Structure 1
């Protein structure tokens, strides 16, 4: 009989530990840019879309508004983005990338490459792992990435 409560048999633990290790690998690159890891994730969304509602960013990053709102306020105070109520629906807050935020994109360009080198793995392995994790993640919610 398998002991399901052994740490070595848990799926959650290596995912948790890897998430912490990945954030630690990003930290030195992000500190040079003045970003935290969650702020970097917001920047990834904004670099791709230029603007998005708080709700959309929250869904894409799996963050609730209680976590996201203070994060966005700090980023606005640092001049990386602006927050603006929607003209169409004032309950919606749109987040718009600033010129300063856009300028960080160039500094971030090589981060994925540096991380891949540190992980000592190839594109195929990373793509397979990412796709498997996304598949599991998508089974836990209705939100589709």
Structure 2
């Protein structure tokens, strides 16, 4: 004889607040809202900020390297990079060895923006209500989760 799960068990598993995906999604939305006024001072959107972070780590990356680092599609990254180029923050040039490869480099203005962005992590820390250690542990747990999810794609 097969015992069917009770209605309450099934419904409990499907409650929105019991979903890890919703906890991550809603937190991400709120975190982006906290970033918004900070980034407006720099005239950057959140996705543009992420691209700038990658270039501030190491300048002269290819579009492919940036998209891999951001876990995004190179095609969706290109319009974002074009806007940053139009703002004078970076330049895009085709590789001499392989014209399919586009190399992205910060301009002087793009490098100078890094100095203005230095206050942002401290502002996010303050808004989080967490300690540096607590956020680092959370970040490590999320990176492990991300790795497992990537492995299961």
Normalized against structure 2, the TM-score is what?
0.89
Q: Is 1:79 aligned to 2:124, yes or no? A: no
Report the equivalent of 2:138: 129
- Per the alignment, residue 69 of structure 2 pairs with 60
| C-alpha distance in structure 2 between counterparts of 1:87 and 1:138, whole Å | 35
- RMSD over aligned CA atoms reads 1.1
Q: Distance in 1 between matches of 2:91 and 2:122?
A: 29
Q: Find the aligned partners of 1:135 and 1:52 in 2 and give their Cα distance.
A: 26
Q: Which residue of 2 aligns with 1:20?
A: 29
SS at match of 1:33: coil
Larger Rg: 2
SS of the residue corresponding to residue 13 of structure 2 reads: coil
Q: CA deviation at 1:27?
A: 0.7
1:22-61 → structure 2 map (5 Å cutoff): 22-61=31-70
Is 2:124 the partner of 1:115?
Answer: yes
For residue 116 of structure 2, give the secondary structure of its aligned residue in structure 1: helix
* Corresponding residue of 1:96: 105
Q: 1:122: Cα distance to partner?
A: 0.4
- Give structure 2 stretches of 5+ with no counterpart: 1-8
Find the residue that maps to 1:82 and give its secondary structure.
strand
Counterpart secondary structure, 2:150: coil
- CA shift, 1:6, in A, is 1.1
| CA-CA distance at 1:141 after TM superposition | 2.3
3-state SS in 1 of match to 2:14? coil
Distance in 2 (CA, whole Å) between partners of 1:29 and 1:130 is 21
